[in-house]
């Protein structure tokens, strides 16, 4: 026991001697450690940002495998105004039409404000040539304006009298609303196929005059009717329509300079004002109705002014004329 304690004392003395002979290690300054941390943090952030940029560049690179690049939507001006992600070719987009209905604004007013269907004469697009003899279209909501055109055949002595053989109606946007061949009530002397486009073969599924007349009367009721020589079309339909509810491109004063006679031809107006050729062969009542509507829409402000002067609004109070030079006598 005495020997163990003496050895323990010798070991402690040796440890103290060795520790005393070694120089003390310098303490790290707090500033150095903090500086080291602050230097390392930006490097880590830079590394993360570089990795993130590299990852994004790979995703946007069309050549990278397994990743498809999506083209950015263009911001150009188009006739549909890009209001709806998938706008219709003609007319007001569904989302805009809903908004207009909620705010008591007609689709025609929206189309007029944005010029929908007017650029590049898109109302006359060959992508929608028409659906002959369809009758009443089910996919069109008819607004305030419609355009009408009829094709006639010759009846009576010599075939000089007109009889209805086809009628077409389109809406403000040029969409087909109605089209039907019509069975004449009299014997046809001249089918005028080279002009009217109507032939005996079309009569197999044609509708009766009375049926077509009733349907057209319902379509025109309460609406503004646009057309070229509208009175002639109404005459063969045996229908009446208020003059203040008609916009006739054959009678519009702004088009008189194109007339080679009492009224300008529709094909001349189409060529001179729209830059398109129509009626080069057999006529199409759908095409003629669309041309009439397009002419009206392109010159609508002038049509409105002329109409307002011809049919003044009687509901508005008219200014009273002052009595000049007349004095009322006072009663005694």
pLDDT at residue 63 in the model? 47
87 and 148 fall within a common domain: no
92 and 145 fall within a common domain: no
160 and 301 fall within a common domain: yes
102 and 164 fall within a common domain: no
Does the residue 112 lie in any domain?
Answer: yes
Which has the closest alpha carbon to 80: 115, 37, 32? 115
Mean pLDDT rounded to a whole number for the chain: 78
Does the residue 302 lie in any domain?
Answer: yes
Pairing of strands 224-227, 246-248: parallel
pTM: 0.63
Does the residue 30 lie in any domain?
Answer: no
Instruction: Supply 328's token pair.
Output: 């009322």
Query: Domain with 163 in it: what CATH number?
Result: 3.30.420.10
Last residue of one domain, picked from the residues 116, 139, 171: 116
Domain count, the chain: 2
pLDDT tens per residue, range 181-203:
999 999 999 999 999 999 999 99
Residues spanned by the domain of 91: 81-116
192 and 253 fall within a common domain: yes
221 and 133 fall within a common domain: yes
Task: Say whether pLDDT at 331 is over 70.
Answer: no
146 and 196 fall within a common domain: yes
90 and 137 fall within a common domain: no
Give the highest mean pLDDT range of 19-33, 63-77, 83-97: 19-33
109 and 148 fall within a common domain: no
Does the residue 21 lie in any domain?
Answer: no
Does the residue 65 lie in any domain?
Answer: no
Does the residue 160 lie in any domain?
Answer: yes
pLDDT tens per residue, range 11-34:
677 677 666 665 555 555 544 444
Does the residue 60 lie in any domain?
Answer: no
- 3-state SS, the chain, equals CHHHHHHHHHHHHHHHHHHHHCCCCCCCCHHHHHHHHHHHHHHHHHHHHHHHHHHHHHHHCCCCCCCCCCCCCCCCCCCCCCCCCCCCCCCCCHHHHHHHHHCCCCHHHHHHHHCCCCHHHHHHCCCCCCCCCCEECCCCCCCCEEEEEEEEEEECHHHCEEEEEEEEEEECCCCEEEEEEEECCCCEEECCHHHHCCCHHHHHCCEEHHHHHHHHHHHHCCCEEEECCHHHHHHHHCCCCCHHHEEECCCCHHHHHHCCCCCCCHHHHHHHHHCCCCCCCCCCHHHHHHHHHHHHHHCHHHHHHHHHHHCCCCCCCCCCCCCCCCCCCCCC
């Amino acid at each position: 026991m005495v020997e163990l304690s003496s050895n323990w004392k010798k070991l402690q003395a040796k440890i103290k001697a060795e520790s005393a002979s070694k120089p003390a290690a310098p303490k790290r300054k707090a500033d150095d450690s903090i500086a080291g941390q602050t230097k390392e943090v930006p490097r880590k952030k830079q590394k993360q940002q570089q990795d993130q940029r590299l990852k994004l560049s790979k995703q946007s690179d069309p050549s990278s495998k397994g990743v498809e690049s999506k083209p950015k939507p263009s911001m150009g001006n188009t006739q549909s105004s890009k209001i709806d992600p998938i706008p219709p070719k003609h007319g007001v987009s569904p989302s805009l039409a809903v908004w207009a209905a909620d705010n008591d604004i007609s689709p025609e007013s929206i189309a007029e404000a944005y010029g929908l269907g007017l650029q590049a004469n898109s109302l006359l697009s060959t992508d929608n040539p028409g659906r002959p003899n369809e009758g009443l279209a089910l996919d069109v909501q008819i607004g305030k304006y419609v355009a009408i055109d009829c094709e006639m055949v010759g009846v009576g002595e010599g075939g000089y009298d007109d009889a209805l053989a086809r009628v077409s109606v389109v809406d403000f946007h040029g969409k087909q609303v109605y089209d039907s061949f019509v069975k004449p009530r009299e014997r046809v002397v001249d089918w005028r196929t080279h002009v009217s486009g109507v032939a005996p073969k079309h009569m197999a599924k044609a509708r009766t005059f009375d049926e077509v007349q009733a349907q057209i009367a319902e379509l025109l009721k309460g609406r503004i009717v646009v057309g070229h020589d509208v009175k002639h079309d109404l005459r063969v339909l045996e229908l009446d329509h208020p003059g203040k509810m008609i916009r006739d491109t054959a009678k519009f004063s702004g088009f008189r300079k194109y007339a080679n006679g009492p009224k300008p031809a529709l094909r001349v107006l189409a060529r001179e004002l729209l830059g398109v050729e129509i009626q080069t062969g057999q006529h199409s009542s759908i095409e003629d109705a669309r041309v009439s509507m397009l002419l009206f829409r392109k010159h609508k402000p002038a049509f409105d002014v002329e109409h307002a002067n011809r049919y003044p609004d009687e509901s508005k109070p008219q200014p009273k004329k002052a009595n000049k030079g007349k004095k009322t006598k006072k009663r005694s």
